[in-house]
């Protein structure tokens, strides 16, 4: 990497962005492409040819030899198939570098190797990738050289979505259409388009690669499956915002540089609560671009870590007993002329349009809490949501003091006449300035918090795509907007009707608002009284995808068909079973081949010690006692290992939901039973005998 650089110079240097397009495309083609990006017209093949050619020339100047349609199948990561630009050799034996409009617009990866949840039988395995021209193409550099990456959507031969992006784009259309109706009701004739904006804060762990490679659990499942707690955990909270260690700083510097080149606005980095945990946040962008950028961010972090002799762990819970990782999905809705529909202004009680939008979001989140919860469920996230950590599995909404007060005034008195104003924060030192306080304090425990001019959905898992969460958010809010617009468009007296409707929305959906401590047991009870769902596992959450209300919701906005929803449910059950199966088998392998043999060696050493010491006529009672303790753990471990093997074999004969439930209820329990005696043994067995690095070494020696 270069020593010194100017960020403004390198930012976006590997992106086929607006500046490059303006420079390199003929005026009329540029204009047509813009219209296509705005959804006004389709792109002609002739224009596509011109664009493809310009893209190719630009990419080749950046050293690219290949191009790829970059897409997000339902595996959680991205996929690509690389083709080089070369043509068949001419008579003179030379090749040309070619890239046509057809190749830009459409690709055909071998669809059969990606999950389809029964949407596609193998005999009709065709799937197509289609260019998403609203997310810019980019050149990615790596060991294999440079590649032109074209963001695409991935569909089956019959047009069903096989990826994350297709429904996301559909949901963006839905919210655009309905939000424009709301704006029109308030006399807005200038905004042409409404787009969700998203900023995803990404948490991750960094460990040393040498140590990582000694642990099969990290290699195969991305998390530790054994491991006793280190003497020092996160109880001191000294890692949070702590100074960032040299090695990590060097890693972060490279990550930023690579991301900036790719046009990803890496902005804020800091240490997180847990040791070895960090966070990186970009500046928010249009929903689908933010989704692509988050995937790029994860890719780049993993790649750069390897280069630094480190490994980036994106798993939601790499270490038991230590905080897990998530992804805060900050979401707002903005018009093309810069109006944020979630901006309350200084006096929210007078901002009728804002209050109506707020009521719409409250209704959406209350009505479809289960879907929102489902959108954030993945296998690793089960260790966070509803387990003893942030955020709780119950969806509630934090509004803050100021908005909560306005909402209550409206419910109680029918009118809101004031907004609590922000004050000055007295710093108490004459040399420090007094700061303007926000009108609302933060709440860190709420899964869905209003933070000034956006909602922050904090449930998404660190390894997961943010697409599903945004698909749900966009669609459920579109539904609220639609119902509101249907009613208000008919009203004789708009002012009266809108006032009554806001009051009704607040009153009907106030139960979703909760400003207290979301981690407390009282909240679990209180939420049950309010009738809010508390969905504890991914497997339990999945069924919300296929219930009749969900099908109706998504079909009516053209976001998912029933078949697509069913396929997604099936894919999730399967993903769950596969992941737990891998974890269980990895445990069986580690316990059988590494841990139990190591413990046996240690007991043998202890036994020898007992004999030798006794022979020498000394007291061997300490050794004998330790031997008895360790032998006890050994026996328990062996028994649990046998049982785990048995239940994994039983699981293999099941399928679908039933299989996933069996893995969750039976296999996971057996895994816990194997882990417990081994973790206990780790606390007493001589370190020299332990076959791989401990939690302390992984967490504190980076
Ligand atoms: P925090 O204090 O929670 O870290 P920040 O203000 O730093 O909050 O923002 C966190 C993320 O939210 C960033 O990615 C930021 O770009 C994004 N964000 C800020 N404003 C908006 C908005 N109006 N809509 C969507 N995302 C936003
Ligand atoms: Mg945040």
What is the 434 CA–ligand 1 centroid distance (Å)? 24
Best of 267, 454, 477 for a ligand 1 pocket test (most atoms within 8 Å of beta carbon): 454
Given a cut of 70, whether residue 388 has pLDDT beyond it is no
Specify whether the CB–CB gap between 323 and 273 falls below 8 A: yes
Whole-Å CA distances, 403 to 110, 144, 333, 356 = 51, 53, 18, 13
**The pair of three-digit structure tokens given for residue 618, joined into one six-digit string:** 């000394």
Tokens coding 281: 């946040």
Closest C-alpha among 137, 165, 169 to residue 69: 137
Q: What is the mean pLDDT of residues 397-417?
A: 89
452 lines ligand 1 (CB under 6 A): no
Is the CB–ligand 1 distance for residue 282 below 6 Å? yes
pLDDT tens by residue, 548-581: 999 999 999 999 999 999 999 999 999 999 999 9
Q: How far is the CA of 449 from the centre of ligand 2 (A)?
A: 9
Question: 168: which residues sit within 8 A by CB, 6+ positions away?
Answer: 287, 288, 291, 467, 470, 471, 474
Whether the pTM exceeds 0.85: the reply is: yes
Q: What share of the chain is helix, strand, coil (3-state, %, to 5)?
A: 50, 15, 35
Ligand 1, atom 6, residue with closest C-alpha: 451
Task: For residue 345, give Cα distances in angstroms to 39, 452, 486, 503, 624.
Answer: 31, 9, 26, 20, 73
CA of 691 to the centre of ligand 2 (A): 39
Going by C-alpha positions, the residue among 501, 504, 524 that lies closest to residue 514 is 524
What's the chain's average pLDDT? 91
Instruction: Look at residues 616, 564, 331 and name the one whose alpha carbon lies nearest to residue 448.
Output: 331
Index of the ligand 1 atom closest to the CA of residue 268: 7
Q: What is the pLDDT of residues 301-312, one digit of tens each?
A: 999 999 999 999
My answer on whether omega of the bond before 391 falls inside 30° of 0, hence cis, is yes
Question: Is the distance from the beta carbon of residue 454 to the nearest atom of ligand 1 less than 6 Å?
Answer: yes
Alpha carbon of 607 to ligand 1 centroid (Å): 60
Q: Is the CB of 197 under 6 A from ligand 1?
A: yes
End-to-end distance of the chain based on CA atoms, in angstroms?
22
On the question of pLDDT at 546 being above 50, the answer is yes
Confidence of residue 346 (pLDDT cuts 50, 70, 90): confident
Pocket test of ligand 1: the residue of 196, 199, 291, 391 to mutate, having most ligand atoms within 8 Å of its CB, is 199
Produce one character per residue of 9-19: b if its CB has 16 or more CB atoms within 10 Å, e if not.
eebbebbbeee
Distance between Cα 106 and ligand 1 center (Å): 35
* pLDDT tens by residue, 204-257: 999 999 999 999 999 999 999 999 987 765 555 555 455 557 889 999 999 999
**What is the rounded CA–CA span in Å between residue 5 and residue 440?**
39
Least confident residue range of 106-115, 173-182, 357-366: 106-115
DSSP 165-226: HHHHHHHHHHHHHHHHHHHHHTT--S---EEEEEEEEEEEEEEEHHHHTT-HHHHHHSS-SS
The pLDDT of residue 463 is above 80:
yes
Strand partners for 666: none
Tell the residue number behind the tokens 């949070």, with chain if given. 240
Report the atom number in ligand 1 closest to the C-alpha of 284. Answer: 16
Residue 196 CA: which ligand is closest?
1
Q: How many CA atoms lie within 13 A of 451 on its CB side?
A: 18
Assign 438 a pLDDT band (cuts: 50, 70, 90): low
Q: What is the pLDDT of residues 139-173, one digit of tens each?
A: 998 887 899 999 999 988 888 899 999 999 999 99
Report which of 472, 455, 479, 454 is spatially closest to residue 168, judged by C-alpha positions: 472
The string over 539-570, giving b where at least 16 C-beta atoms fall within 10 Å of a residue's C-beta and e elsewhere, is bbbbebbeeeebbebbeebebbbeebbbbbbb
Measure 340 CA to ligand 1 centroid, in angstroms. 13
Ligand nearest to the CA of 454: 1
Q: What is the DSSP string of 416-446?
A: ----PPP-EE----TTSPPEEPPSS---SS-
Q: What is the CA radius of gyration of the chain?
A: 28
Give residue 224 CA to ligand 2 midpoint distance, Å: 26
Q: What is the pLDDT of residue 1?
A: 46
The answer on pLDDT for 71 being more than 70 is yes
Tell whether the model's pLDDT for residue 431 goes beyond 50: yes
**pLDDT at residue 439 greater than cutoff 60:** no
Can you say whether the dihedral through the CA atoms of 85, 89, 90, 95 is positive or negative? positive
In the structure encoding, which two tokens stand for residue 640, read together? 């649990």
Residue 73 and residue 57: Cα distance in Å, rounded?
A: 29
Mean pLDDT of 382-405: 87
The CB of 333 under 6 Å from ligand 1? The reply is: no
Which residue, 174, 68, 76, 78, is CA-closest to 131?
68
For residue 319, what are the CA distances in angstroms to 139, 217, 276, 322, 517? 35, 11, 11, 6, 25
CA–CA gap between residue 668 and residue 584 (Å, rounded): 8
Atom of ligand 1 nearest to the CA of 201: 14
594-623 pLDDT per residue, tens: 999 999 999 999 999 999 999 999 999 999
Average pLDDT rounded to a whole number, residues 306-321: 96
CA 57 to chain CA mean position, Å = 35
The alpha carbon of 456 and the centre of ligand 2 are apart by a number of angstroms equal to 7
Task: Kindly report the length of the chain.
Answer: 702
- Listed in sequence order, the residues at least 6 apart from 155 whose beta carbon sits closer than 8 Å to its beta carbon are 127, 128, 129, 130, 161, 162, 163, 166
């Amino acid at each position: 990497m270069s020593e010194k650089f100017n960020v403004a110079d390198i930012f976006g240097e590997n992106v086929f962005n607006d500046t490059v397009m303006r420079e390199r495309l003929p005026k009329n083609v540029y204009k047509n492409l813009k219209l296509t990006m705005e959804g006004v017209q389709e792109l002609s093949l002739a224009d596509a040819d011109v664009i493809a050619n310009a893209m190719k020339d630009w990419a080749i100047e950046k050293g690219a030899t290949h191009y790829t349609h970059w897409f997000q199948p339902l595996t959680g990561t991205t996929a690509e198939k690389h083709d080089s630009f070369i043509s068949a050799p001419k008579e003179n034996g030379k090749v040309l570098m070619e890239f046509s409009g057809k190749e830009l617009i459409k690709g055909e990866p071998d669809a059969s190797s990606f999950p389809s949840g029964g949407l596609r039988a193998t005999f009709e395995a065709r799937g197509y990738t289609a260019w998403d021209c609203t997310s810019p193409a980019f050149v990615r550099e790596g060991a294999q050289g440079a590649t032109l990456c074209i963001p695409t959507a991935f569909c089956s031969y019959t047009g069903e979505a096989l990826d994350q992006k297709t429904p996301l784009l559909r949901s963006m259309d839905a919210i655009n259409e309905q939000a424009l109706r709301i704006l029109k009701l308030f006399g807005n004739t200038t905004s042409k388009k409404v787009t969700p904006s998203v900023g995803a804060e990404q948490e991750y762990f960094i460990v040393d690669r040498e140590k990582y490679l000694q642990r099969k659990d990290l290699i195969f499942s991305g998390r530790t499956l054994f491991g006793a707690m280190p003497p020092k955990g996160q109880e001191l909270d000294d890692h949070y915002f702590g100074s960032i260690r040299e090695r990590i700083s060097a890693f972060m510097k490279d990550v930023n540089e690579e991301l900036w080149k790719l046009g990803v606005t890496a902005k804020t980095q800091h240490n997180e609560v847990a040791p070895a945990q960090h966070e990186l946040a970009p500046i928010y962008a249009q929903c689908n671009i933010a989704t692509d950028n988050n995937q790029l961010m994860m890719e780049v972090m993993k790649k750069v870590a390897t280069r630094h002799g480190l490994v980036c762990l994106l798993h939601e819970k790499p270490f038991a007993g230590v905080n897990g990782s998530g992804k805060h999905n900050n979401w707002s809705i903005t018009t093309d002329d810069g109006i944020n529909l979630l901006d309350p202004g200084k006096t929210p009680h007078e901002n009728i349009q804002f209050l109506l939008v707020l009521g719409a979001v409250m209704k959406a989140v209350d009505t479809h809490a289960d879907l929102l919860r489902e959108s954030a469920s993945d296998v690793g996230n089960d260790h966070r949501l509803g387990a003893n950590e942030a955020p709780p599995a119950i969806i509630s909404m934090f509004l803050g003091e100021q908005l909560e007060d306005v909402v209550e005034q409206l419910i109680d008195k029918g009118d809101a006449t004031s907004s609590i104003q922000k004050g000055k924060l007295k710093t108490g030192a004459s040399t420090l300035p007094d700061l303007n306080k926000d009108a609302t304090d933060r709440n860190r425990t709420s899964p869905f918090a209003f933070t000034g001019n956006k909602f922050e959905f904090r449930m998404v898992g660190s390894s997961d795509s943010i697409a599903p969460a945004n698909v749900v958010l966009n669609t459920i809010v579109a539904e609220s907007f639609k119902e509101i617009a249907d009613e208000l468009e008919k009203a004789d007296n708009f002012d009266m009707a809108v006032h009554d409707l806001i009051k009704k929305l607040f009153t009907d959906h106030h139960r979703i608002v909760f400003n207290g401590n979301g981690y407390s047991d009282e909240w679990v009870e209180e939420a049950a009284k309010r009738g809010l769902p508390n969905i504890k596992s991914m497997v339990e959450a999945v069924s919300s995808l296929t219930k009749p209300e969900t099908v109706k919701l998504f079909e009516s906005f053209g976001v998912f068909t029933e078949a697509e929803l069913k396929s997604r449910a099936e894919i999730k059950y399967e993903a769950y079973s596969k992941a737990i199966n891998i974890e269980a088998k990895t445990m069986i392998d580690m316990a059988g081949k590494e841990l139990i043999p190591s413990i046996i060696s240690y007991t043998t050493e202890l036994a020898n010690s007992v004999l030798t010491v006794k022979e020498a006529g000394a007291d061997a009672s300490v050794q004998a006692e330790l031997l008895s303790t360790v032998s006890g753990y050994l026996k328990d471990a062996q028994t649990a290992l046998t049982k785990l093997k048995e239940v994994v074999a039983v699981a293999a004969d099941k399928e679908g939901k039933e299989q996933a439930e069996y893995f969750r209820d039976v296999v996971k329990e057996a895994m816990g039973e194997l882990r417990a005696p081994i973790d206990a043994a780790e606390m007493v067995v001589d370190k020299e005998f332990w076959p791989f690095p401990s939690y302390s070494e992984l967490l504190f020696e980076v």
